[in-house]
């Protein structure tokens, strides 16, 4: 979700809240008989004859249909704008300029870092993905280890892979997040000495 959509959400929620609050207070004041004190032209009863006359006009169904279509389009846009988009696409590397752009697939580079960690003794599996989270690029490594794995060795492998990934991408806005999962049971022959 973009910052513009978030800003629009906040403004729309604030304005809708003000309208509902004012409308609710006006209805309560009208019901209690205090609306005459606040607004001298307050009616004692509601007259709906103008609305009934409006509904009998020939153009009224067409106007309602157009309003319905507009609301459906707006509702679909609203829903689509709130779908989280975390993909990164190709990343520009240092050295890009007006003559051309150097790009890299950050997801594949992150998976290569995960593959390097997967070669560590005691690591069963590792996967990597690159996504955007709150304006920053996050290289996520998901590592499954044996219960008997040496955590210091795994941590060293993750730090080395993170440093290599940072050097390959050449960007200061990439953060590395490693999630280490412990497998429920050890594989036969996976003891670390």
Q: For the chain, what is the mean pLDDT?
A: 84
Q: Which range marks the domain in which residue 151 is found?
A: 103-182
Residue 115: count of CB within 10 angstroms of its CB:
13
When pLDDT is cut at 50, 70 and 90, the band that residue 193 belongs to is very low
pLDDT over 90 (residue 153): yes
Q: What angle do CA 128, 129, 135 make, to 5 degrees?
A: 140
Q: Which has more pLDDT, 136 or 14?
A: 14
My answer on whether 21 and 76 are in the same domain is yes
Does residue 68 sit within a domain?
Answer: yes
pLDDT of residue 85: 65
Does residue 93 sit within a domain?
Answer: no
What's the structural domain count of the chain?
Answer: 2
My answer on whether 13 and 68 are in the same domain is yes
């Amino acid at each position: 979700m973009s910052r513009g959509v978030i800003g629009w959400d906040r403004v729309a929620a604030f304005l809708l809240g003000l309208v509902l609050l004012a409308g609710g207070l006006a209805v309560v004041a009208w019901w209690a008989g205090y609306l005459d004190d606040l607004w001298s032209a307050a009616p004692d009863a509601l007259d709906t004859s103008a609305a009934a006359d409006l509904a009998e006009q020939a153009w009224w169904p067409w106007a309602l249909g157009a309003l319905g279509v507009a609301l459906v389009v707006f509702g679909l846009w609203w829903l689509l704008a709130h779908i989280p988009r975390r993909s990164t696409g190709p990343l520009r590397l240092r050295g890009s300029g007006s003559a051309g752009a150097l790009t890299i697939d950050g997801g594949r580079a992150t998976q290569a870092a995960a593959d390097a960690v997967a070669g560590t003794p005691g690591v069963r599996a590792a996967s990597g993905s690159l996504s955007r989270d709150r304006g920053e690029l996050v290289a996520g490594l998901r590592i499954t280890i044996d219960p008997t794995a040496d955590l210091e060795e795994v941590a060293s492998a993750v730090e080395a892979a993170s440093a290599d990934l940072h050097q390959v991408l050449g960007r200061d806005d990439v953060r590395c997040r490693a999630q280490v999962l412990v497998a429920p049971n050890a594989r036969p022959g996976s003891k670390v000495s």
